[in-house]
Structure 1
Amino acid sequence: MSAAPMGFYLWLLLLRTPHGPRRSTFQFSPLMPKITSGEVSYITGAAAGIGKAVTTMLVNQGGRVVIADVNGDAASKFASELNEKAGSVVAIAVKSDTTNWEEQLAGFQLAISTFKRIDYVFANAGIAEHPWLPPFDPEAATSRPMVKPDLATAEINLIGQMYTAALAFQTFERQEIGPSGFRGKLILTASVFGYFPSRAMPLYASSKAGIINFMRSVAGYYADKNITVNAISPNLVDTTIAPDVLFIPFRKYKLLSDIQLVLDQFEKLLGDSTLNGQALSISQEHVWVHPPETHMLEENLPACDLISVEIFKLFGDKTP
């Protein structure tokens, strides 16, 4: 499996966007990429929060969208609003629990039967941390049984996104190169907690870290197949992912990330953008490409590369 050359990561300090100077780690044209009118996007978790904002942005650029959400009523209402405003069918809704393979498969099948292809897949659905174990309390522990951990956060944020990714890759594989020059593009919603640990959110942090390394790994595999894979990693954004009370101190200390700045990073991956294997990150006014791990890379690379070659042979994959 070939990795992107290290020169691909251009560590420039400033990026000017429509919102003014932003700290960044790569150079980007002041002209943001756009989708080609009529291109189709499949977005999970699209009835609220970041997913809803991305969906609105894509429709405003002339795109057609599949609004996939576990809240089927909210998805249908949102699709109706978009269609009414456009005066034509630009959106369809599917009820989809991302942890349910059959529901996700049905959603993709409906998208293909309706729009004939999917140009972009946004694996966005996710939830906040659920307590996976009871709070640490040695005195109470002796009086309660061992508790099975609640792994819902990891199941939705990691396994659910991998189901979405699996359907995206198999869909892209079955269709020709589209108007923007790609078979398709997969964009995963991760988090800065994919890089930084959190005492209170071990499952959220581990699932987002999994998404980041999954993204980097599959981006290398699909790099020569007219498919790009990237991740958007914001810090806390004011959405409905958590109870509003959680956001109060963050508003007070101005520690929330601007949703428009998050959308700007999604937009950089659209159209004819060739960015691949990147973790575009946002925290308050800061924007950067988070670098891959390089500590002891040179010493480990021969074994890491060889394991890919040997596993490809074992799996019957013809990738060199």
Structure 2
Amino acid sequence: MAVISRGEVSYITGAASGIGRALATMLVSQGGLVVIADLNVEAGSKFASELNEKAGSIVAISVEVDTTVWEDQMAAFQQATNIFKRIDYVFANAGIAEHPWLPPFDPETAASRPMVKPDLATADINLTGQLYTAALALQTFERQEIGPSGFRGKLILTASVFGYYPSRAMPLYAASKAGIINFMRSAAQYYANKNITVNAIAPNLVDTPIAPDVLFIPFRERKLLSDMQLVLDQFQKCLGESTINGHALSISQDNVWAHPPDTHMFEENNPACDLISVELFKLFGDSTA
């Protein structure tokens, strides 16, 4: 399996807990340096101190970041590059569980209630926040030379199987993760010949602090949680000298697969889909073919 080169730098959003924390621990164990970017700066700083104490050197730094705030993310990237000089891997991982975007459906009381503005917090963090991270990652990679693994940099986004499958209880979560999947596939094509790879890891429910613990009890009882080590193994496949690009590596319980792009009616649509890229690049002043 692909491994990182010693001293390569990883920037991880949401790294103070859950998947991000497990990922940071794995990368440091392989000789990597990590930037723990998290809104919970107290937990992030404590985690960084634990990693540094165990390693006996500075292998981790903590930066306070609200991923929905562009200025926060830009400042964090600048701090990371000032300290570590480059960033080899960016993991756009920070996310939250579904926040009800509208009140529960109730025709009996609807007429007596005012229309409410939807709560888009789930999409703000899970989609917009990740796109801010991606934008900074790709521009950072563009400004640095090819690294020890043969790439300018690698972007890995945390998605979900709900990027492919609908959920009647999680419309905003599903929408944001679907957006991440299609962004990843599109960006991967654009950067394919630029020494940059873009991939996504898409697990089903993993036992993390993303939601109240009571939510996980029936999943534990029915053995329906996805295995954290399998999730980490999929991240690992994208690292080092791996040429994987444009893949949605998916995990559900003990099952692992690369989820294929939708090809229904693809041949019929592809001529127009491809031509729009050609023509838009002309309008954008982009020399990409």
Deviating beyond 3 angstroms after TM superposition, the runs of 4 or more aligned structure 1 residues are none
Give 1:92 shift.
Answer: 0.4
1:260 and 2:229 equivalent? yes
Who is 1:99 aligned against?
68
SS in 2 for 1:118: coil
Taking structure 1 as the reference length, the TM-score comes to 0.90
TM-score (norm 2): 1.00
The amino acid of 2:210's aligned partner reads I
Note the C-alpha offset of 1:184.
0.1
Q: In the alignment, does 2:205 pair up with 1:228?
A: no
Q: Any idea what SS the aligned residue of 2:185 has?
A: helix
CA distance in structure 1 between the aligned counterparts of 2:110 and 2:48, rounded to whole angstroms: 49
2:106 corresponds in structure 1 to 137
- The secondary structure found in structure 1 opposite 2:155 is strand
- Fraction of identical pairs, as percent: 81
1:208-247 residue pairs with structure 2 within 5 A?
Answer: 208-247=177-216
Alignment of 1:115-134 (within 5 A): 115-134=84-103
The answer to whether residue 120 in structure 2 is matched with residue 151 in structure 1 is yes
User: Partner of 2:166 in structure 1?
Assistant: 197
Deviation at 1:73, TM superposition (A): 0.8
Quote the Cα distance in structure 2 between the aligned partners of 1:275 and 1:260.
20
1:62 — aligned with what?
31
- Whole-angstrom distance in 2 between the partners of 1:117 and 1:183: 10
Q: Distance in 2 between matches of 1:48 and 1:279?
A: 23
How many corresponding residue pairs? Answer: 289
> What is the rounded CA distance, in whole Å, between the counterparts of 1:309 and 1:36 in structure 2?
37
Q: Name the CA distance, whole Å, in 2 between partners of 1:71 and 1:225.
A: 35
- 1:157-196 Cα deviation digits (max 9, x unpaired): 0000000000000000000000000000000000000000
Equivalent AA in structure 2 for residue 179 of structure 1? P
Please give the residue correspondences for 1:26-65 in structure 2 after superposition, counting only pairs within 5 Å.
32-65=1-34
1:81 positional shift: 0.6
Structure 1 residue 295, shift from structure 2 partner: 0.5
1:250-280 per-position Cα deviation (integer Å, ceiling 9, x unaligned): 0010000010110010001110000000000
Deviation at 1:143, TM superposition (A): 1.1
List alignment gaps of at least 5 residues for structure 1.
1-31
